[in-house]
Structure 1
Amino acid sequence: MSNIGLQVRQAVPSIDPVVADYAVGYIQHVSHATEDSVSSQQIQIDEEMEFVKELLLDAGGSKEKVSHLTEVLCEQLSKKLEKNMARLEVTGDTSKRLLDINLLKQTNSKRDINSSLALLGASNDIEHTGRNMESRVDKTKLEKQERKIAKKVAKRNNKFVQYEASKLLNQKKDDDYDSFFLEINPLDFGSSAGKSKDIKIDNFDLYVGDGQRILSEASLTLAYGRRYGLVGQNGIGKSTLLRALSRRELNIPKHITILHVEQEIRGDDTPALQSVLDADVWRKSLLQEEQKINERVNELERLRAEFEEESNEVRKLDNEREDLEAHLQEVSEKLYEMESDKAESRAAAILYGLGFTKETQNLPTKQFSGGWRMRLSLARALFCVPDLLLLDEPSNMLDVPSITFLANYLQGYQSTVLVVSHDRSFLNEVATDIIHQHSERLDYYRGSNFDSFHSTREERIKNQRREYENQMAYRKHLQEFIDKFRYNAAKSSEAQSRIKKLEKLPVLEAPEDEKEVTFKFPDPEKLSPPILQMHDVTFGYEPSKVLINHVDLDVQMDSRIAFCGGNGTGKTTLLKLLMEQLTPLDGFISRNGRLRIGYFAQHHVDAMDLNLSAVSWMSQTFPGKTDEEYRRHLGAFGITGTLGLQKMQLLSGGQKSRVAFAALCLAQPHILILDEPSNHLDTQGLDALADALINFQGGVLMVSHDVAIIDRVCNEIWVSEENTVKRFPGNIHDYKKHILASADVAGVVRKH
């Protein structure tokens, strides 16, 4: 088999060099396995050559040549295997096998070009004789081939497996949004009328990159037009499932369009409004195509005038024009279907609802911060109206007015939505169904918002526990009788009857008990009022540009205040004034001389050394206690066992937040000032935080977008708008109604 490379290239002359080397390397691995296998069960020559055949056909080979090559290889390898089996019957297997073909299958190495080349001893992409050269393979073709291989292998196994593509593909530009959009959602002029847009994927497994399985023989069912809330504990794999759907790594029909809001857009000179319009790549491509066709038609008119009316050249030009006009009609119909003429007004309405004023809509995207670029990503997705919209914690990047707009907008959304969120209020407003991801499976709660899911699940677990306990008691009763009378002649028939009953009982699993999470803020000593007061405070970073005017507010030891308002209205500035990080232009702030404030920053992770454990970081940042005292203190916030001794970079986002909560309490503050404390916390963490804040004996001032936690904890609302901060006369639900009334969001939703 020394000339296998030549045979492959003769069978497929147009094959890419990297794919050719991969095929050769794979065949050589199979050849080595035939020499070293202990039994014929460890390798199936027909199956392996069928894979090679599919690979070469997909690479452009003719069916006749490829079939002939694989038949020859199959015959040669089968003879080698038979010869080796005969030798092993006499000598036994005394040598160490060079390659275990089962291990090759388990690790999916046959679908990873770089892994195969590494096993061949190649140090670069391809190993050449003489000097080493970097591969010049066409990456677009290689990427297409990689996808085909992954799809075929997944189909063969009837399940999804993690597919690691060639590292050559990692060089693809991150900002190639248009090509990625069209790759996931190819533009089809054929009618999709009558085709179901329901999604049903049965019996699939899902793995994260390190080989950890997060779903086992799961089924995903999404009915078109329903809005699904995907819930589960932190780290369970919800985002991984969304990512697999967004890349069609799970089998979703091609006529169903998909869009995933995952990361902020890259900033450039494109105005925000144009950035949203450009997100609809179909519309953008069709408009460009329409322009090119019209230009070509005008050019044909000019060329036609240069020839005689009945000449062959004129007939050719007329035929081309007819084809172009027919295609132009298709393009125009497609643009009419997507209401292209209304696109700009719709994009502007979405941006306005997400907090972009008419002026900021025309600013270049590079002038926006990361949080505002995330809003742009969300606006682009809403504008495109895909058949399947995937949202991953959308409320983490929004304030209360924007979340209120988004919830109302999604209520009128005509397509399918799958949203990962821990925001109960948001899910109650948006979700028509809940999917609970846990224990490597997906449980469906149809027709449920979050509250009804939670109560139904509690009842379901209670019934499962009751059924399990009853069966265990019945099993124990049967077993005791069997043990007592098994060898009693008079009772042996009854004992045998009970043995049969015991064997026929269904095997029930004990219902899972979710680990309870608790927070506890230490109670400070009492202070005499006034605690913290603002008297006619005015502030601006420049005297000519005042940000907040004439603020008269106070925080007391029993305060439970939610601080709301749109981004950029001065909320963070006011918090800094209260903590004496800024000085007012006018007015003054009085505070009790013994007052201690605990501040939880929205980006608290930036202040942590993630290479340290939580215990080490706290002992360096807040010295004065023993390691055991730090561990005990962390335990009050759910960081128990060895979690406090692990590097913090290994902790989930919710666990890092718990460490930050524990740290701010070391000084036993009288007042807690919390900036977006609910971000990254799962449902259990949010419940624990709410309970701890309710029971805390000091004051709480909280900037938050989570309506559920505000509703549970706070009895006072501050609103930052119109260059001042005032108490709002009502609760958080009254404030949401105020937002809808003032912004007329309901009208925007009806237009949508």
Structure 2
Amino acid sequence: MSSLGAQIRRAVPDIDPVVTDYAIGYVNHISNSTTDSVAAQQLDLENDIGFVKNLLKSAGANESKLESLGVSLQTALKQQLDDNFAKLKITGDTSKRLLDVNLLKNQMNRQLQGSLALIGASKDIEHNGRNMESRVDKKKLEKAEKKIAKKVAKRNNKFVKYEASKLISDSQGDADYDEFFLKINPMEFGSGAGKSKDIHIDTFDLYVGDGQRILSDSSLSLSFGHRYGLVGQNGIGKSTLLRALSCRELNIPSHITILHVEQELRGDDTLALQSVLDADVWRKSLLKEEREINDRISEIEKLRTEFDEESLEVKKLDNEAGDLVQHLEEVHEKLSEIESDKAEGRAASILFGLGFSQKAQHQPTNSFSGGWRMRLSLARALFCEPDLLLLDEPSNMLDVPSITFLANYLQTYPATVLVVSHDRAFLNDVATDIIYQHSERLDYYRGANFDSFYSTKEERRKNAIKEYENQMAYRKHLQEFIDKFRYNAAKSSEAQSRIKKLEKLPVLEPPEEDKSVTFRFPEVEKLSAPIVQLQDVVFGYSPDKLLLNDVNLDIRLDSRIALVGANGCGKTTLLKILMETLRPIEGHVTKNSRLRIGYFAQHHVDAMDLTLNAVTWLSKTYPGKTDEEYRRHLGAFGITGSLGLQKMQLLSGGQKSRVAFAALCLDNPHVLVLDEPSNHLDTAGLDALAEALRSFEGGVLMVSHDVSIISNVCNEIWVSEEGTVKRFDGTIYDYKKYILSAADAAGVLAKH
């Protein structure tokens, strides 16, 4: 192939000869390929020539000459490969056969397909005049095919593509829990002894739905015992990644146990405490086996009395009993290994920490609402202590006391935790590392809680912007010199030198800009005090069952109040009294006659017609303005452009929340009453909400579990407990310490 070598030398006469010789050798290697690998080489010819061009370009070759060289090389090499293949077919010469992993894969696939065709045959194979029974095991063959494909992909350094869309249709909530648990976590005691429980998944792509890619050329690395916070904007695919892990769609070693808290528990007559104990299917299966063995041993004892001591039947029964006793000892060893005797106390402690009283623990699961069943799902996962615990927005279903307990519990969790959350305070308490999902990739921030991640991310972004701007300025400077002196004979060598410098510069992408979200509440007209005042309020659905007693509180135009307390302790009842949907049995609620209250409901979506777009829904619900005025109003809450004209069922949870905020402000309220406003909002949305509430000129009463937004917005804490609501002397962090001290006194924070 001297002619090809000559072409290369003519095209790049000025570059380093070492690079030229390497490129010629590489091209000659391609041209000498023969046998079946020719087909694969032809398919990869464009990539090979691209490699050669990039190599020469990096050494300073002229780009326009490289383009024409690439065309001539491709034509010549294709002809040479065709000639090689034709020669092979005539002579059968395989002396120059190359090992090609694509070829290996194709050969194996052809063999496997042939075997599968034989399996599907309607009659046995005839060989040498004799019928021979086909002994091919289809399941083993399919397993072998998958194993070979993985090996070939790994050797060929190809990305593995994972389709997560089927996880939606194969939802574990629709399957029997025990069956799903054992499928994901097969009971193989001791199988993981001595094996690493770190997780490393190299280069993979992850898709969802109709081919939408959420991760590209990504790798996942989880060190055992670390607690990872997975963060990113709404809709980026964090929950999809968790589902792929929970169903082992991604390649996690089989000895690592996994549990994912995603769906609420299905209610039945099982008691709450027993449902948590039953979540450990290994323990449940062993206890069942223990009962069955003991029952059979008792049955054997009765059967022995029916026969003579020296009879053959008694000897058989004794042998069976001996085997059963030996098996029973093995079962007891396994139960001891998982500390089964401590299980009930541990389950009760977890339930108590998550808000279940001793009485509630002995109520059937079908007596609890959806939110409490989600807590049961969380309790079941904590009780099982899997090697990899996956949590998706756990704080959304908990109150401040329960979040405080969960954060404290996870701080001593003995395995790996991967949690999706936008709750900064929770991540600050729990996370040892942060994984930032964005732009179809995962960025790792080792040894970082949320605050340190956020500051480091901003610093990285600023540095990237600075580097990009500096390079663009340098490129501009070089280009201006080239344009000015390209055709100047005296300066031509300097221009050529700058052209080479320009070509060698790395190509930088402009740093992505964080999406800015804004909230803007309307101005407030001044009102004279009292705005809202509760005096000696008593409420109950019957006089003998009071929910609230002796409540004396007031709200001012400058109030920033957080109402906290355990679920079911009367917070929602107090809001309804303020909104006058409930009337107290005793006491008075005094309001300014001109007071307008804007109410944000926790389940605000229930009040929306999701088949309409936001502009149409606002015009029907709050008539009196033009469509343009509604669009401008929505824009004040981040619903800009076409978002206001999309059907609301297509909006994300955070976008629906912004529409709800826009709606409550149309009446220009003096006081905002917000029930869990932080749910569904990502970090940018939470920052925007906090800033808007601080700037709002009216009063704010907020029920929230998000400690960060309470800390950023509120300067007054109301605590609902023991049948009343009172001011708490201290900050939200003081309240957390108060909760932990009470939990310690109750003995529910024992280390595990």
| CA–CA separation in structure 1 for the residues paired with 2:173 and 2:391 | 23
Counterpart position of 1:488: 488
- Asked if the contact 2:517/2:637 (under 8 Å) is kept, the reply is yes
Q: Give matches, 1:214-293, under 5 Å.
A: 214-293=214-293
Q: Give matches, 1:340-489, under 5 Å.
A: 340-489=340-489
Question: Counterpart of 1:744 in 2: which secondary structure?
Answer: helix
Alignment CA distance shift 1:729-1:310 (3 Å): same
| CA–CA separation in structure 2 for the residues paired with 1:467 and 1:51 | 53
| CA–CA separation in structure 1 for the residues paired with 2:151 and 2:397 | 38
- Asked if the contact 1:150/1:163 (under 8 Å) is kept, the reply is no
Alignment CA distance shift 1:341-1:171 (3 Å): closer
Shift in Å, 1:701:
0.2
Give the AA of the match of 1:376: L
Question: Counterpart of 2:376 in 1: which secondary structure?
Answer: helix
Alignment CA distance shift 1:144-1:296 (3 Å): farther
| CA–CA separation in structure 2 for the residues paired with 1:183 and 1:53 | 31
Residue 545 (structure 2) pairs with residue 560 (structure 1)? no
Structure 1 portions without partners, runs of 5+:
1-38, 69-140
Question: Counterpart of 1:717 in 2: which secondary structure?
Answer: strand
Alignment CA distance shift 1:654-1:274 (3 Å): same
| CA–CA separation in structure 1 for the residues paired with 2:324 and 2:281 | 22
| CA–CA separation in structure 1 for the residues paired with 2:174 and 2:692 | 42
Deviations 1:577-631 (A, max 9, x none): 1111111100111100000000000000000000000111111100111111111
- Asked if the contact 2:164/2:244 (under 8 Å) is kept, the reply is no
- Asked if the contact 1:740/1:746 (under 8 Å) is kept, the reply is no
| CA–CA separation in structure 1 for the residues paired with 2:163 and 2:706 | 35
Residue 154 (structure 2) pairs with residue 160 (structure 1)? no
Counterpart position of 1:336: 336
- Asked if the contact 1:181/1:281 (under 8 Å) is kept, the reply is yes
Shift in Å, 1:291:
1.3
- Asked if the contact 2:167/2:243 (under 8 Å) is kept, the reply is no
Give the AA of the match of 1:195: K
| CA–CA separation in structure 2 for the residues paired with 1:660 and 1:189 | 52
Counterpart position of 1:117: none
Question: Counterpart of 1:274 in 2: which secondary structure?
Answer: helix
| CA–CA separation in structure 1 for the residues paired with 2:631 and 2:173 | 45
Moved more, 563-572 or 289-298: 289-298
Counterpart position of 1:3: none
Give the AA of the match of 1:381: A
Counterpart position of 2:695: 695
Give the AA of the match of 1:234: N
| CA–CA separation in structure 2 for the residues paired with 1:66 and 1:171 | 46
Alignment CA distance shift 1:526-1:163 (3 Å): closer
Counterpart position of 2:575: 575
Counterpart position of 1:706: 706
Shift in Å, 1:749:
3.3
Q: Give matches, 1:501-516, under 5 Å.
A: 501-516=501-516
Shift in Å, 1:485:
1.6
- Asked if the contact 2:191/2:255 (under 8 Å) is kept, the reply is no
Counterpart position of 1:665: 665
Residue 731 (structure 2) pairs with residue 734 (structure 1)? no
Moved more, 183-192 or 672-681: 183-192
Deviations 1:650-699 (A, max 9, x none): 00000000000000000000000000000000000000000000000000
Shift in Å, 1:486:
1.7
Deviations 1:308-331 (A, max 9, x none): 667665555455444433332222
- Asked if the contact 1:537/1:552 (under 8 Å) is kept, the reply is yes
Shift in Å, 1:160:
3.3
Shift in Å, 1:477:
1.1
- Asked if the contact 1:160/1:249 (under 8 Å) is kept, the reply is no
| CA–CA separation in structure 1 for the residues paired with 2:678 and 2:126 | 59
Counterpart position of 2:212: 212
- Asked if the contact 1:385/1:415 (under 8 Å) is kept, the reply is yes
Counterpart position of 2:542: 542
Structure 2 portions without partners, runs of 5+:
1-81, 86-101, 129-136, 154-158
Q: Percent identity?
A: 72
Shift in Å, 1:306:
5.4
Counterpart position of 2:528: 528
Number of aligned pairs?
637
Give the AA of the match of 2:589: I
| CA–CA separation in structure 2 for the residues paired with 1:701 and 1:574 | 11
Shift in Å, 1:300:
3.8
- How high is the TM-score relative to the length of structure 2? 0.80
Shift in Å, 1:61:
11
| CA–CA separation in structure 2 for the residues paired with 1:307 and 1:711 | 79
- Asked if the contact 2:172/2:180 (under 8 Å) is kept, the reply is no
Counterpart position of 2:23: none
Question: Counterpart of 2:490 in 1: which secondary structure?
Answer: coil
Larger radius of gyration: 2
Give the AA of the match of 1:715: N
| CA–CA separation in structure 1 for the residues paired with 2:164 and 2:684 | 33
Question: Counterpart of 1:160 in 2: which secondary structure?
Answer: strand
- Asked if the contact 1:482/1:498 (under 8 Å) is kept, the reply is yes
Deviations 1:351-384 (A, max 9, x none): 1001110111111111111111111111111111
Counterpart position of 1:718: 718
| CA–CA separation in structure 2 for the residues paired with 1:660 and 1:151 | 51
- Asked if the contact 2:112/2:141 (under 8 Å) is kept, the reply is no
- Asked if the contact 1:353/1:745 (under 8 Å) is kept, the reply is no
Give the AA of the match of 2:546: V
- Asked if the contact 2:578/2:589 (under 8 Å) is kept, the reply is yes
Deviations 1:550-585 (A, max 9, x none): 111000100000000111111011111111111110
- Asked if the contact 1:160/1:205 (under 8 Å) is kept, the reply is yes
Shift in Å, 1:298:
3.2
Q: Give matches, 1:51-90, under 5 Å.
A: 52=113
| CA–CA separation in structure 2 for the residues paired with 1:347 and 1:274 | 9
Shift in Å, 1:52:
3.5
- Asked if the contact 2:412/2:751 (under 8 Å) is kept, the reply is no
- Asked if the contact 1:482/1:499 (under 8 Å) is kept, the reply is yes
- How high is the TM-score relative to the length of structure 1? 0.80
